[in-house]
């Protein structure tokens, strides 16, 4: 059984049909690139998976659990093992690295057996451990996130998602606006996540990055799956042709 199975999913907002019968599957540990022009339906599809929106019709299954049911929510998606890192990262940049990795879930200890306080030592140690899993070298967990490079900030956001022990990680434009060296750093983090058996959906407009790390490329066009291509047996020109509708299939 696939880890994620999306079957004939439709989603409409008023008179606009955003998704029109989308179907695809994702195996555990697989990296799939999700590409398409703005308005193709990528964000809507991901928000159905993460519980922000509900399907109109169709079915979404994740690890044997039905997602297309009343009551599916971001909290339920997280409980099932689905995490998404949005393009804006949602970091508290005035706070340090460790605080961002455990934002809102800081480990506690008892002071004099009475008062709960943040266990800074445990939090910093755990933050460095999860960053170490990603091969990230940040010299001090007390560094304010605002002082980190763009690539380092991206990995802090990914590290925070990893503390929830996800089976599926959705990355929204993780290499956008990064310098070349920073891009390669983030791509290596994605490769490491794959080695750890975490399935990834990579949303990106940067096709070279998609080709560098994915197993398959899923092209959305006008709310439909225009192509589902093994990365090794396709080309950038073919993917672009599907994105713009220059393949004869609309």
Asked, for residue 89, whether it belongs to a domain, the answer is no
pLDDT tens-place string over residues 87-118: 888 899 999 999 999 987 777 777 766 777 77
Q: Are strands 108-111 and 199-203 parallel, antiparallel or unpaired?
A: unpaired
User: pTM value?
Assistant: 0.92
Q: Is 80 helix (H, G, I), strand (E, B) or coil?
A: helix
pLDDT at 40: 95
Provide the CATH number for the domain around residue 181.
Answer: 3.40.50.300
151 and 175 part of one domain:
no
Element (H, E) at 189: helix 180-195
250 and 173 part of one domain:
yes
Q: Is 137 helix (H, G, I), strand (E, B) or coil?
A: coil
71 and 192 part of one domain:
yes
Q: Is the pLDDT of residue 249 over 60?
A: no
Asked, for residue 144, whether it belongs to a domain, the answer is yes
Q: What is the mean pLDDT of the chain?
A: 92
Domain that holds residue 69: 1-81+168-250
Residue 91, both tokens: 């970091």
Residue 81, both tokens: 């093992």
pLDDT at 173: 94
pLDDT at 99: 92
Asked, for residue 47, whether it belongs to a domain, the answer is yes
pLDDT tens-place string over residues 121-141: 889 999 999 998 888 888 899
Nearest partner of 167 among 83, 105, 73, judged by Cα: 83
Number of domains within the chain = 2
pLDDT at 193: 95
161 and 173 part of one domain:
no
Burial class (CB in 10 A: 0-12, 13-18, 19+), 177: exposed
Phi, psi of 63, deg, nearest 5: 50, 40
66 and 187 part of one domain:
yes
The four Cα atoms 85, 90, 94, 99 give a dihedral, to 10 degrees, of -50
């Amino acid at each position: 059984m696939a880890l994620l199975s999306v079957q004939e999913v439709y989603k409409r907002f008023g008179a606009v049909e955003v998704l029109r019968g989308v179907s695809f599957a994702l195996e555990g540990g697989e990296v799939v690139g999700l590409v398409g022009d703005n308005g193709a339906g990528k964000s809507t599809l991901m928000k159905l998976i993460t519980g922000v929106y509900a399907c109109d019709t169709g079915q979404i299954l994740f690890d044997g659990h039905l997602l297309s049911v009343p009551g599916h929510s971001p909290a339920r998606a997280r409980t099932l093992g689905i995490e998404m890192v949005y393009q804006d990262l949602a970091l508290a940049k005035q706070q340090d690295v460790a605080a961002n990795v455990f934002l809102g879930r800081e480990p506690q200890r008892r002071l004099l057996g009475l008062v709960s306080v943040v266990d800074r030592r445990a939090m910093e140690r755990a933050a460095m451990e999860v960053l170490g899993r990603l091969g990230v070298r940040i010299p001090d967990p007390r560094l304010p996130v605002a002082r980190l490079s763009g690539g380092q900030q991206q990995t802090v956001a990914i590290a925070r998602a990893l503390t929830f022990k996800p089976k599926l990680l959705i990355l929204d434009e993780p290499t956008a606006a990064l310098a070349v060296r920073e891009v390669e750093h983030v791509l290596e983090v994605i490769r490491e996540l794959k080695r750890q058996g975490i399935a990834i959906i990579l949303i990106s407009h940067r096709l070279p990055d998609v080709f560098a790390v994915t197993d398959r490329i899923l092209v959305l066009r006008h709310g439909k799956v225009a192509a589902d291509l093994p990365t090794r047996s396709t080309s950038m020109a073919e993917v672009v042709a599907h994105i713009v509708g220059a393949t004869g299939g609309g």
